[in-house]
Amino acid sequence: MSIYADVKKGPAIEVFALTQAFKDDSNPNKVNLSVGAYRTNEGQPWVLPVVRNTEKNIASDENINHEYLPVTGLDTFTSAATQLVLGADSIALKEKRAFGVQTISGTGALRVAAEFLYQQLKRNDVYYSNPTWENHHKIFADTGFTKLHSYRYWDQNKRQLDLKGMLADLDQAVPGSVIILHACAHNPTGSDPTQEQWKEIADLMERKKLFPLFDSAYQGFASGDPDRDAWAVRYFVDRGFELFVCQSFAKNFGLYCERAGNLTIVQKNGATRDAIHSQLTLIIRGSYSNPPAYGARIVSKVLNTPELRQEWMGCIQSMSSRIREMRQALRSKLVELGTPGTWDHIVNQIGMFSYTGLNEQQVRILIDKYHIYLLKTGRINMCGLNTGNIDYVAKAIHAAVT
Ligand code: PMP
């Protein structure tokens, strides 16, 4: 009898299972609206031209070698990443009470953050939105958190943020609870609080002494403007919160597989920096020793070189505007077809995803009958749509709904 005999097969990860099913499907009309990655209007992955050129320059640079990076990563990358999210004129940066450590993309930033909060700050209560990116629960549960809560976020009938529900649930949280907030382009709903609503959330979190952990996976990718997408984070920093920001460069640089990420720590004063930094170093050392350099070198070079940074701004604008065009097109086609229901939420939502409001049965029809792959919650990746397939998708949604 094998020592492995009692290992039970775990559940499939929905998003990857759907992508596999899509690959295995031989229907010529098939469409993948599940996985969270950008696609061009031709349905292809996109290497940002500024990234491609930077890769070439790095590859031919004789001064670059493959020595280990420091445990907390490439300094020029972490400082540029921290500045990107907090803003060059951030009071926290001026007062030297913010710094970053490099992580294995956004997921790794969340995991290192969770480990630190659990081990060092003895936190055991975490709140994430309902719905949220499903990995939030897993990351905190795997770290050891035993009090995992969700807060209301989405009003399915009105297809908009349920601020009242959110505030009521956060009001029940014990002081010190970790509250995961999506910095922008909430995944999966595509619905963010307005500035006024963020103020109410901050008021409550300040009063209840709750700890904000911003998950920032879409800065710049959402609106095309990195400053605009960082508004909420900067607002909380300006109000004096101590907080964490988990940054991913997967979407906004198209560096999905390179795992470039950063964990930004904002403190009340810089006196706590060295101790925090040393503990983060130990957490990373015991997890994966040190991070990969490739993606971080690219991001660092681009963000720290004004002309390249400008070029990158053009790239994020073109990605975000293509998504907005697809939102408009899908909404107009559904309205034209007279599909029952209102579809304004598709254009009101922001970022990569739209929470369509389609129910599980309608999703089943789309997958089985039309070979259109999407999550059972009705979340679609807007980037999977293009001028070649949007008519087909709109007609299929119409048929599934009627
Ligand atoms: N947070 C959210 C909300 C996300 O959508 C994602 C990517 N799907 C991530 C974090 C992390 O992604 P990555 O680890 O690829 O940077």
Q: Note the ipTM here.
A: 0.99
To the query of whether residue 229 is one of the catalytic residues in this protein, the response is no
User: In the predicted model, what is the mean pLDDT of residues 195-201?
Assistant: 98
Residue ID of nearest Cα to ligand 1 atom 4: 217
To the query of whether residue 251 is one of the catalytic residues in this protein, the response is yes
Residue ID of nearest Cα to ligand 1 atom 12: 106
How far does the centroid of ligand 1 lie from the alpha carbon of residue 78, in Å?
18
- Are β-strands 31-32 and 372-373 bridged in parallel, bridged antiparallel, or unpaired? parallel
How far does the centroid of ligand 1 lie from the alpha carbon of residue 36, in Å?
9
**Token pair of 319 as six digits:** 């990605």
Beta partners for residue 244, in sequence order: 213, 265
How far does the centroid of ligand 1 lie from the alpha carbon of residue 7, in Å?
29
CA distance 177 to 146: 12
pLDDT at 324 (0 to 100):
95
Q: What percent of the chain has pLDDT over 90?
A: 97
Please tell me which residue in 162, 169, 192, 215 is annotated as part of the active site. Answer: 215
pLDDT at 372 (0 to 100):
97
pLDDT at 35 (0 to 100):
80
How far does the centroid of ligand 1 lie from the alpha carbon of residue 112, in Å?
14
**Token pair of 244 as six digits:** 């964490």
To the query of whether residue 133 is one of the catalytic residues in this protein, the response is yes
Query: Tens digits of per-residue pLDDT, 107-165?
Result: 999 999 999 999 999 999 999 999 999 999 999 999 999 999 999 999 988 889 999 99
User: In the predicted model, what is the mean pLDDT of residues 276-304?
Assistant: 98
The count of C-alpha atoms lying within 13 angstroms of the C-alpha of 378, restricted to the half-sphere facing its C-beta, is: 17
pLDDT at 36 (0 to 100):
87
Query: Tens digits of per-residue pLDDT, 331-361?
Result: 999 999 999 999 999 999 999 999 999 999 9
pLDDT at 339 (0 to 100):
96
pLDDT at 220 (0 to 100):
96
| Average pLDDT score, the chain | 97
Burial grade of 147 (CB within 10 A; 0-12, 13-18, 19 or more) = middle
- Residues with Cβ within 8 Å of residue 92, at least 6 apart in sequence: 86, 98, 237, 266, 267
8 Å CB contact between 72 and 101:
yes
Pocket of ligand 1 (CB under 6 A): 36, 105-107, 133, 182, 187, 215, 217, 248, 250, 261
How far does the centroid of ligand 1 lie from the alpha carbon of residue 217, in Å?
5
User: How would residue 40 be classed by pLDDT, with cut points 50, 70 and 90?
Assistant: very high
E strand segments, 98-207? 98-104, 125-130, 147-152, 154-155, 160-161, 178-182
Answer whether residue 28 shows pLDDT above 90.
yes
Query: Tens digits of per-residue pLDDT, 301-321?
Result: 999 999 999 999 999 999 999
Beta partners for residue 75, in sequence order: none
User: In the predicted model, what is the mean pLDDT of residues 197-211?
Assistant: 98
Answer whether residue 185 shows pLDDT above 90.
yes
Our mutation pick for probing the ligand 1 site, out of 103, 112, 135, counting the most ligand atoms within 8 A of Cβ, is 135
Answer whether residue 225 shows pLDDT above 90.
yes
User: In the predicted model, what is the mean pLDDT of residues 219-248?
Assistant: 97
Answer whether residue 65 shows pLDDT above 90.
yes
Which atom of ligand 1 is least distant from the CA of 256? 15
Query: Tens digits of per-residue pLDDT, 245-264?
Result: 999 999 999 999 999 999 99
pLDDT at 82 (0 to 100):
98
Please tell me which residue in 46, 133, 154, 343 is annotated as part of the active site. Answer: 133
